[in-house]
Amino acid sequence: MDANAIYQTPTVEDIAQLLPAKFSGVNVTGTETRRVFATVPRENLFEVCTYIHDNLTFEHCSTVIGVDYVDHLATVYHLTNYYNGVMIELVVDIPCDDMHVDSVTPIWEGANWHERETWELFGIVFDNHPKLERLLTPETYEFFPFRKSYKLRGSE
Protein backbone atom coordinates (compact mmCIF):
# COMPACT_ATOMS: atom_id res chain seq x y z
CA MET A 1 0.00 0.00 0.00
CA ASP A 2 1.13 3.52 -0.76
CA ALA A 3 1.75 5.29 2.53
CA ASN A 4 1.55 8.75 0.97
CA ALA A 5 -1.77 8.35 -0.83
CA ILE A 6 -5.00 9.85 0.52
CA TYR A 7 -7.61 7.37 1.70
CA GLN A 8 -11.15 8.52 2.35
CA THR A 9 -12.45 5.29 3.86
CA PRO A 10 -9.45 3.36 5.21
CA THR A 11 -10.38 0.02 6.76
CA VAL A 12 -9.05 -1.21 10.09
CA GLU A 13 -6.53 -3.46 8.31
CA ASP A 14 -5.34 -0.59 6.11
CA ILE A 15 -4.71 1.61 9.14
CA ALA A 16 -2.95 -1.17 11.03
CA GLN A 17 -0.61 -1.56 8.03
CA LEU A 18 -0.14 2.07 7.07
CA LEU A 19 0.65 3.62 10.44
CA PRO A 20 3.67 1.40 11.36
CA ALA A 21 4.86 1.52 7.73
CA LYS A 22 4.91 5.30 7.69
CA PHE A 23 6.20 5.89 11.24
CA SER A 24 8.58 3.37 12.77
CA GLY A 25 7.77 4.44 16.34
CA VAL A 26 4.03 3.73 16.06
CA ASN A 27 3.03 0.40 17.55
CA VAL A 28 -0.43 -0.99 16.77
CA THR A 29 -1.44 -2.83 19.95
CA GLY A 30 -4.74 -4.27 18.79
CA THR A 31 -7.74 -4.02 16.53
CA GLU A 32 -11.45 -4.67 16.89
CA THR A 33 -14.44 -4.03 14.67
CA ARG A 34 -14.07 -0.39 13.63
CA ARG A 35 -11.39 0.21 16.28
CA VAL A 36 -7.62 0.56 16.04
CA PHE A 37 -5.47 0.90 19.15
CA ALA A 38 -1.95 2.27 18.88
CA THR A 39 0.83 3.78 20.95
CA VAL A 40 2.82 6.73 19.68
CA PRO A 41 6.12 8.13 20.96
CA ARG A 42 5.81 11.64 22.29
CA GLU A 43 8.13 13.20 19.68
CA ASN A 44 6.12 11.86 16.73
CA LEU A 45 2.63 12.74 17.93
CA PHE A 46 2.14 15.86 15.84
CA GLU A 47 3.29 14.30 12.55
CA VAL A 48 1.28 11.15 13.17
CA CYS A 49 -1.84 13.20 13.85
CA THR A 50 -1.25 15.37 10.79
CA TYR A 51 -0.93 12.20 8.71
CA ILE A 52 -4.09 10.71 10.20
CA HIS A 53 -5.99 13.91 9.54
CA ASP A 54 -4.72 14.66 6.04
CA ASN A 55 -4.12 11.24 4.49
CA LEU A 56 -6.54 8.98 6.35
CA THR A 57 -9.37 11.59 6.49
CA PHE A 58 -10.01 11.45 10.22
CA GLU A 59 -11.85 14.73 10.50
CA HIS A 60 -13.01 14.56 14.08
CA CYS A 61 -11.12 14.43 17.36
CA SER A 62 -13.51 13.06 19.97
CA THR A 63 -11.43 13.45 23.09
CA VAL A 64 -8.07 14.13 24.61
CA ILE A 65 -7.84 12.31 27.92
CA GLY A 66 -5.24 12.50 30.64
CA VAL A 67 -4.51 9.49 32.85
CA ASP A 68 -2.23 9.41 35.90
CA TYR A 69 -0.52 6.00 36.24
CA VAL A 70 1.61 7.27 39.21
CA ASP A 71 4.93 6.13 37.66
CA HIS A 72 4.09 7.98 34.46
CA LEU A 73 1.23 9.89 32.88
CA ALA A 74 -0.50 9.34 29.56
CA THR A 75 -2.66 11.24 27.12
CA VAL A 76 -5.18 9.34 25.04
CA TYR A 77 -6.64 10.55 21.75
CA HIS A 78 -9.80 9.24 20.13
CA LEU A 79 -10.12 10.09 16.45
CA THR A 80 -13.10 9.42 14.20
CA ASN A 81 -13.53 8.97 10.47
CA TYR A 82 -16.94 10.32 9.47
CA TYR A 83 -17.16 8.22 6.29
CA ASN A 84 -17.02 4.71 7.79
CA GLY A 85 -17.14 5.18 11.56
CA VAL A 86 -13.65 3.79 12.26
CA MET A 87 -11.97 5.09 15.41
CA ILE A 88 -8.27 5.25 16.25
CA GLU A 89 -7.13 5.36 19.87
CA LEU A 90 -3.64 6.80 20.31
CA VAL A 91 -1.83 6.51 23.64
CA VAL A 92 1.15 8.74 24.39
CA ASP A 93 3.22 8.04 27.50
CA ILE A 94 4.60 11.06 29.30
CA PRO A 95 7.34 10.81 31.95
CA CYS A 96 6.68 12.48 35.30
CA ASP A 97 9.78 14.66 35.20
CA ASP A 98 9.01 16.32 31.84
CA MET A 99 5.29 16.75 31.33
CA HIS A 100 5.20 18.23 27.86
CA VAL A 101 3.43 17.03 24.74
CA ASP A 102 2.60 18.70 21.44
CA SER A 103 -0.87 20.17 21.14
CA VAL A 104 -3.13 18.79 18.40
CA THR A 105 -5.38 21.87 18.44
CA PRO A 106 -3.73 23.25 15.25
CA ILE A 107 -5.01 20.10 13.51
CA TRP A 108 -8.40 19.63 15.20
CA GLU A 109 -9.90 22.75 16.72
CA GLY A 110 -12.19 20.46 18.70
CA ALA A 111 -9.29 19.34 20.89
CA ASN A 112 -8.90 22.85 22.28
CA TRP A 113 -11.01 22.60 25.41
CA HIS A 114 -10.07 18.99 26.09
CA GLU A 115 -6.42 19.99 26.24
CA ARG A 116 -7.14 22.95 28.45
CA GLU A 117 -9.06 20.67 30.77
CA THR A 118 -6.30 18.05 30.81
CA TRP A 119 -3.73 20.74 31.56
CA GLU A 120 -5.62 22.21 34.48
CA LEU A 121 -6.53 18.87 36.05
CA PHE A 122 -3.29 16.91 35.44
CA GLY A 123 -0.64 19.53 34.80
CA ILE A 124 0.31 18.13 31.39
CA VAL A 125 1.58 21.06 29.31
CA PHE A 126 0.46 21.12 25.67
CA ASP A 127 3.09 22.95 23.61
CA ASN A 128 1.86 25.32 20.89
CA HIS A 129 -1.64 25.44 22.34
CA PRO A 130 -3.26 28.78 21.42
CA LYS A 131 -4.66 29.49 24.88
CA LEU A 132 -3.61 27.23 27.72
CA GLU A 133 -5.60 28.70 30.61
CA ARG A 134 -7.73 27.27 33.37
CA LEU A 135 -11.24 26.44 32.21
CA LEU A 136 -13.25 24.58 34.84
CA THR A 137 -11.35 25.37 38.04
CA PRO A 138 -10.78 28.88 39.48
CA GLU A 139 -7.70 30.73 38.31
CA THR A 140 -6.35 30.83 41.85
CA TYR A 141 -5.88 27.04 41.94
CA GLU A 142 -2.29 26.04 42.61
CA PHE A 143 -2.59 22.27 42.34
CA PHE A 144 -3.74 19.65 39.86
CA PRO A 145 -6.73 17.93 41.48
CA PHE A 146 -7.02 14.82 39.26
CA ARG A 147 -3.56 13.49 39.99
CA LYS A 148 -3.45 10.43 42.20
CA SER A 149 -1.26 12.29 44.72
CA TYR A 150 -4.23 14.58 45.41
CA LYS A 151 -6.32 12.65 47.94
CA LEU A 152 -9.98 13.31 48.54
CA ARG A 153 -11.11 13.63 52.13
CA GLY A 154 -12.69 10.38 53.30
CA SER A 155 -10.86 8.18 50.81
CA GLU A 156 -8.19 5.67 51.89
Partner 1 sequence: MTDSIVPIKEIEENMEKMDTDKMWVIMGPQHPFSHGLWTLKVQLDGEIVTDAEPIVGYLHRGWEKEVENREYPKIIPMADRLCYAASMTYTHLYCMTVEKALGIDIPEKAKYIRIVADEVCRIQSHLMWLAAVGTDLGNLTVFLWCMREREYFLDLNVKLCGARMTTNYPRIGGVRNDTTELFDRDILRTVDRFEKALWDIIYLIDDSSIFVSRMKGISILTREQVANVGLTGPAMRGCGVDFDIRRDDPYDNYDKVDFEVPVLNTGDSYARYMIRVEEMFQSCEIIRQAVQKVKALGKNAPYRIKTPSKVPAGTHFTRLEDPRGESLMYLVSDGTDRPWRLKVRSPIFVNVSSAKLQSVGTRIADVPAVLAQIDMCLGETDR
Applying CB under 8 A, does 26 fall inside the site for partner 1? Answer: no
40 CB contacts (<8 Å, ≥6 apart)?
Answer: 23, 25, 26, 48, 90, 91, 92
Q: What string marks each residue from 33 to 52 as x (binds partner 1 by CB under 8 A) or -?
A: -x------------------
**Restricting to residues 58-87, which ones interact with partner 1 according to CB under 8 A?**
59-63, 65, 67-68, 76, 78, 80, 82, 84-85, 87
- Cβ proximity to partner 1: between 24 and 155 the closer is 155
Going by C-alpha positions, the residue among 121, 125, 102, 105 that lies closest to residue 113 is 105
Applying CB under 8 A, does 141 fall inside the site for partner 1? Answer: no
CA 117 and chain centroid, separation: 13
CB 74 within 8 A of CB 16: no
Q: What is d(CA 140, CA 15) in angstroms, rounded to the nearest whole number?
A: 44
- Cβ proximity to partner 1: between 2 and 143 the closer is 143
82 CB contacts (<8 Å, ≥6 apart)?
Answer: 59, 60
Task: State which of residues 43, 72, 128, 145 lies at the interface with partner 1 (CB under 8 A).
Answer: 145
Q: Which residues bind partner 1 (CB under 8 A)?
A: 34, 59-63, 65, 67-68, 76, 78, 80, 82, 84-85, 87, 89, 108-114, 135-138, 145-146, 150, 152, 154-155
